[in-house]
A and B are shown apart, each in its own frame.
Chain A
Amino acid sequence: MAAGVAAWLPFARAAAIGWMPVANCPMPLAPADKNKRQDELIVLNVSGRRFQTWRTTLERYPDTLLGSTEKEFFFNEDTKEYFFDRDPEVFRCVLNFYRTGKLHYPRYECISAYDDELAFYGILPEIIGDCCYEEYKDRKRENAERLMDDNDSENNQESMPSLSFCQTMWRAFENPHTSTLALVFYYVTGFFIAVSVITNVVETVPCGTVPGSKELPCGERYSVAFFCLDTACVMIFTVEYLLRLFAAPSRYRFIRSVMSIIDVVAIMPYYIGLVMTNNEDVSGAFVTLRVFRVFRIFKFSRHSQGLRILGYTLKSCASELGFLLFSLTMAIIIFATVMFYAEKGSSASKFTSIPASFWYTIVTMTTLGYGDMVPKTIAGKIFGSICSLSGVLVIALPVPVIVSNFSRIYHQNQRADKRRAQKKARLARIRVAKTGSSNAYLHSKRNGLLNEALELTGTPEEEHMGKTTSLIESQHHHLLHCLEKTTNHEFIDEQMFEQNCMESSMQNYPSTRSPSLSSHPGLTTTCCSRRSKKTTHLPNSNLPATRLRSMQELSTIHIQGSEQPSLTTSRSSLNLKADDGLRPNCKTSQITTAIISIPTPPALTPEGESRPPPASPGPNTNIPSIASNVVKVSAL
């Protein structure tokens, strides 16, 4: 149980009144508040730092915690001060806000801790001053993205059995690791994309000569084969596109998305080619369309995360790229004009017009230097050299920005992958914590009940057995105990449950009483009838007698239980004692305690024998390998 909600325990216990009319058994007694009425205020002094300020300073902002009457709830009468159990470092910033009117965000502070503190003191984060606002917003956005990432991948991992067919298909498309069918589909489409691209490329390779004519490209020589390959690929792509369209949760949004446009562009040329006849006029356009077949290579971006990152980077660096292009264009125009007028005078110059000089400028600025156009005049050469030097500068400036963007996005993706890998460990830790708390209850049930029994018989050794649990823990366990009583069922741990299931399925009902046990509907009857339930329980212990051989640490009762005749007598004698103890229990119900199985080590058995046995064979979480049967004895 989290320490934070310990303060809500009174509420949970009060809410337990809702169970009372439904319950058929009397409730167990509440743990007595052994300690004297302690002051709740535990002066831990974690926040022992004392701050001092005028009252009017605080009242400057009456809509916050410190400025309103809400702080009276935190007033400590004894020391005449207001005690807040919060972080003193962040409180410094908060108090400065009252003093100076400006709220600052300390860079070393965790963003969510800071947000929590602000929420506690009732201050809106929008008041953060300009000096710190950017930093605050950036960190907050990062955090939100990270949380969203986690949530998304969590949602993807959840098994939602009630998904419709459409939704399962969509999930299979988006995330190929969800099922083997999706994986197969993923690889098949990847293979066909590769085949299609390679076909396009090989089509144009010259493929040997047909005797009597010049060299033909392969596409013309084996046109039928290539046509069949192309048809097959387009079939697959069409089917895939239609399936995606069918499964998409929002068809309109899907059609508008980039990937679907690429899909359409990849398969359209084929259909247009089918439809169109060999008309001379339109065949030009038809060939142009064939160029679009190369777009099929973009379909690989679904298969490769690196491609997606690259595309995303370019998209996010759009402004830097735009600046680069703009400055390049400016420089090109300037230098082309200059070169044209410089070379105008020379004879047979290639610089026939300014647009013609564009080619020279671009080639020079990017330091390519093909050499098909060279200046011949001296002025031309001077300006040409200035052009190439400036080209280097202009291109080199925006590139680092793009690179850093790419690096940031790439690292973000890496972090997401790492988090997904660590998620398993995190979930395991959470699961352990949860079982820890439920095991704590089962464990303390046994220990606690021994305590009670000891106290009742007046032995002075109070906390001899087991650990001392804090008051809160004992109250929490009492609450769980009440729930058990309300429903007439008990909490056990997983292994015991499985064993019980196995036993009940495995047993052949050797004893006559056990059928009555398993079909006994007496779970809804009152506690007093538990006596009869008890007697029917006992023969049950015969069944795992074979398992007793492996159990060496059980109490004497269990060991006795391996012999049948003595079993019944000894048990019945115990029973009688228990009955005697139980009878006044039902009537007066002064103290109602259900004692559940406790594995007593042999050293304690003398103690166990001297009074109505609180010890019964039962589960021991410390030795989980031991299989044992649970015999419940309700007694004082």
Chain B
Amino acid sequence: MWAEGESEGLQTLGIVVVVCSSLKLLHYLGLIDLSDDKIEDELEMTMVCHRPEGLEQLEAQTNFTKRELQVLYRGFKNECPSGVVNEDTFKQIYAQFFPHGDASTYAHYLFNAFDTTQTGSVKFEDFVTALSILLRGTVHEKLRWTFNLYDINKDGYINKEEMMDIVKAIYDMMGKYTYPVLKEDTPRQHVDVFFQKMDKNKDGIVTLDEFLESCQEDDNIMRSLQLFQNVM
């Protein structure tokens, strides 16, 4: 039942197949070039290397001794051989200290507080400067740094939403298994108490001066600020 046209159709097909495969063959032999996209091996030079200033300069700029700087740098370099910490590494490192809950939000705020120039990476100098304030600075400097940490959008004022974010981040670090059980509005209540204490003129935002004044009035806070004096 094969008519002429049918066998001719298959013949055409066969010829087309042969022609296509020979073209492909020539392409593979490199005689002609049929492909339109080239695959190239890209030289990946993604390593951003940063070297800190000399030991003497850092010693002059911060309140650490040479030996303490050496210790800090070795630890820093171990985790970040490229010399800068980016936010992911920062979060990973911080999360190792709080295995119960989720420390990534708080680490994000911390990172922004450390990264004073908002470049997205923290160099050793920034790191050591901030640590110098936190561990060896005056009470005034410490409080100012903390105010800067709470002020998420860096506009000079702390409002309730920012404080709510910070407190929520701290509570996140606790994780799920706490006693007593964490309720939904616990952070909100905590923030309310905080604002009652700090917001002197009850205008809903806390300025730096209000913050400094209220903290200096509170003995607990003053005492706890001295707690980490001998950390290094």
Q: Please give the residue numbers on chain A whose beta carbons come within 8 Å of chain B beta carbons, in ascending order.
A: 1-2, 4-27, 29-30, 33, 40, 63, 68-70, 72-75, 85, 116, 119-120, 122, 124, 126, 280-281, 283-285, 287-288, 291, 318-319, 321-323, 325-326, 434-435, 437-438, 441, 475-476, 479-480, 482-484, 486-494, 496-497, 500-501, 504, 521, 523-524, 589, 630, 632
Report yes or no: B25 in contact with A326, Cβ–Cβ below 8 A: yes
Sort chain B's interface into a size bin. Answer: 35 or more
Report the minimum CB–CB distance from B124 to chain A (whole Å): 9
Report the minimum CB–CB distance from B169 to chain A (whole Å): 10
Report yes or no: B72 in contact with A10, Cβ–Cβ below 8 A: yes
Of A85, A124, A632, which is within 8 A of B47 by CB?
A: A124
Query: Chain B residues with Cβ under 8 A from A27's Cβ?
Result: 220, 223-224, 227
Report yes or no: A73 in contact with B228, Cβ–Cβ below 8 A: no
Report yes or no: B228 in contact with A493, Cβ–Cβ below 8 A: no
Query: Chain A residues with Cβ under 8 A from B193's Cβ?
Result: 24, 524
Of A7, A8, A70, A124, which is within 8 A of B45 by CB?
A: A124
Of B9, B55, B79, which is within 8 A of A287 by CB?
A: B9
Tell me the complex Cα distance, A494–B178, Å: 9
Tell me the complex Cα distance, A20–B227, Å: 10
Tell me the complex Cα distance, A441–B174, Å: 13
B3 interfacial by beta-carbon distance below 8 Å: yes
Tell me the complex Cα distance, A504–B228, Å: 38
Query: Chain A residues with Cβ under 8 A from B180's Cβ?
Result: 489, 500, 523
Report yes or no: B43 in contact with A5, Cβ–Cβ below 8 A: no
Report yes or no: B9 in contact with A72, Cβ–Cβ below 8 A: no
Interface CB pairs A-B, < 8 A, 20: A8-B79, A10-B131, A14-B131, A14-B228, A17-B225, A18-B149, A19-B170, A20-B224, A24-B220, A26-B224, A120-B77, A280-B3, A283-B3, A482-B227, A487-B190, A489-B186, A490-B179, A492-B179, A500-B180, A524-B186
B20 interfacial by beta-carbon distance below 8 Å: no
Report the minimum CB–CB distance from A394 to chain B (whole Å): 15
Report yes or no: A480 in contact with B98, Cβ–Cβ below 8 A: yes
Residue of A nearest to B75 (CB): A7
Query: Chain A residues with Cβ under 8 A from B192's Cβ?
Result: 524
Report yes or no: A438 in contact with B99, Cβ–Cβ below 8 A: yes
B100-137 residues with Cβ-Cβ distance < 8 A to A are 100, 106, 109-110, 113, 127, 130-131, 134-135
Contact count A vs B, C-beta below 8 Å? 240
Given contacts A283-B5, A483-B170, contact A319 B100 (CB under 8 A): no
Report yes or no: B99 in contact with A72, Cβ–Cβ below 8 A: no
Of B10, B173, B181, which is within 8 A of A500 by CB?
A: B181
Tell me the complex Cα distance, A88–B63, Å: 35
Tell me the complex Cα distance, A441–B55, Å: 37
Report the minimum CB–CB distance from A269 to chain B (whole Å): 12
Report the minimum CB–CB distance from A11 to chain B (whole Å): 6
Query: Chain A residues with Cβ under 8 A from B198's Cβ?
Result: 21
Tell me the complex Cα distance, A476–B78, Å: 19
Residue of A nearest to B41 (CB): A137
Of B21, B97, B127, B215, which is within 8 A of A9 by CB?
A: B97
Report yes or no: B47 in contact with A119, Cβ–Cβ below 8 A: yes
Of A19, A288, A480, A504, which is within 8 A of B6 by CB?
A: A288
Residue of A nearest to B214 (CB): A21
Report the minimum CB–CB distance from B199 to chain A (whole Å): 13
Report yes or no: A11 in contact with B181, Cβ–Cβ below 8 A: no
Query: Chain B residues with Cβ under 8 A from A523's Cβ?
Result: 180, 183, 186, 189
Query: Chain B residues with Cβ under 8 A from A74's Cβ?
Result: 70, 74
Report the minimum CB–CB distance from B17 to chain A (whole Å): 12
Of B29, B73, B100, B183, which is within 8 A of A438 by CB?
A: B100
Residue of A nearest to B5 (CB): A284
Tell me the complex Cα distance, A532–B106, Å: 32
Report the minimum CB–CB distance from B56 to chain A (whole Å): 9
Query: Chain A residues with Cβ under 8 A from B49's Cβ?
Result: 63, 122
Report the minimum CB–CB distance from B181 to chain A (whole Å): 6
Report yes or no: A11 in contact with B127, Cβ–Cβ below 8 A: yes
Report yes or no: A496 in contact with B227, Cβ–Cβ below 8 A: no
Tell me the complex Cα distance, A9–B97, Å: 8
Report yes or no: A497 in contact with B97, Cβ–Cβ below 8 A: no
B96 interfacial by beta-carbon distance below 8 Å: yes
Query: Chain B residues with Cβ under 8 A from A11's Cβ?
Result: 127, 131
Of B8, B45, B93, B211, which is within 8 A of A5 by CB?
A: B93
Given contacts A21-B215, A119-B47, contact A491 B74 (CB under 8 A): no
- Going nearest first, the 5 A-B pairs with the smallest beta carbon separation are A7-B75, A284-B5, A288-B9, A322-B28, A14-B134
Of A476, A489, A494, A524, which is within 8 A of B174 by CB?
A: A489
Residue of B nearest to A289 (CB): B9
Residue of A nearest to B191 (CB): A22
Query: Chain B residues with Cβ under 8 A from A10's Cβ?
Result: 72, 131, 135, 231-232
Query: Chain A residues with Cβ under 8 A from B127's Cβ?
Result: 11
Most chain B C-beta atoms within 10 Å of own C-beta, residue among A22, A288, A323: A22
B145 interfacial by beta-carbon distance below 8 Å: yes
Residue of B nearest to A121 (CB): B81
Tell me the complex Cα distance, A43–B174, Å: 37
Query: Chain B residues with Cβ under 8 A from A19's Cβ?
Result: 170
Tell me the complex Cα distance, A466–B189, Å: 38
Residue of A nearest to B31 (CB): A326
Given contacts A22-B167, A291-B13, A480-B98, contact A632 B179 (CB under 8 A): yes
Tell me the complex Cα distance, A322–B24, Å: 8
B154 interfacial by beta-carbon distance below 8 Å: no
Report yes or no: A73 in contact with B70, Cβ–Cβ below 8 A: yes
Query: Chain B residues with Cβ under 8 A from A501's Cβ?
Result: 181
Query: Chain A residues with Cβ under 8 A from B189's Cβ?
Result: 521, 523-524
Tell me the complex Cα distance, A488–B181, Å: 11
Query: Chain A residues with Cβ under 8 A from B100's Cβ?
Result: 438, 441, 480, 491
Report yes or no: B79 in contact with A4, Cβ–Cβ below 8 A: yes
Query: Chain A residues with Cβ under 8 A from B73's Cβ?
Result: 73
Report yes or no: A20 in contact with B181, Cβ–Cβ below 8 A: no
5 more contacts with CB within 8 A, not counting A69-B55, A489-B171, A497-B177, are A33-B230, A69-B54, A70-B52, A73-B69, A124-B47
Report yes or no: B227 in contact with A483, Cβ–Cβ below 8 A: no
Given contacts A119-B82, A496-B179, A521-B189, contact A291 B10 (CB under 8 A): yes
Tell me the complex Cα distance, A35–B69, Å: 20
Report yes or no: B220 in contact with A25, Cβ–Cβ below 8 A: yes
Report yes or no: A26 in contact with B135, Cβ–Cβ below 8 A: no
Report the minimum CB–CB distance from A143 to chain B (whole Å): 14
Of B6, B106, B146, B194, which is within 8 A of A284 by CB?
A: B6
Tell me the complex Cα distance, A23–B10, Å: 85
Most chain A C-beta atoms within 10 Å of own C-beta, residue among B74, B78, B99, B186: B99
Tell me the complex Cα distance, A625–B110, Å: 40
Query: Chain A residues with Cβ under 8 A from B98's Cβ?
Result: 480, 483
Query: Chain B residues with Cβ under 8 A from A490's Cβ?
Result: 178-179
Given contacts A4-B79, A22-B194, A524-B189, contact A73 B74 (CB under 8 A): yes
B176 interfacial by beta-carbon distance below 8 Å: yes
CB 8 Å contact bits of B184-226 with A (1 = contact, 0 = none): 0010011011100010000000000001000100001101110
Report yes or no: B29 in contact with A479, Cβ–Cβ below 8 A: no
Tell me the complex Cα distance, A323–B31, Å: 13
Given contacts A120-B77, A283-B3, contact A15 B29 (CB under 8 A): no
Of B5, B21, B131, which is within 8 A of A281 by CB?
A: B5
Given contacts A4-B79, A284-B3, contact A20 B221 (CB under 8 A): yes
Query: Chain A residues with Cβ under 8 A from B74's Cβ?
Result: 7, 73-74, 85
Residue of A nearest to B109 (CB): A18
Most chain B C-beta atoms within 10 Å of own C-beta, residue among A288, A291, A479: A288
Tell me the complex Cα distance, A168–B130, Å: 46
Report yes or no: B67 in contact with A40, Cβ–Cβ below 8 A: yes
Query: Chain A residues with Cβ under 8 A from B10's Cβ?
Result: 288, 291
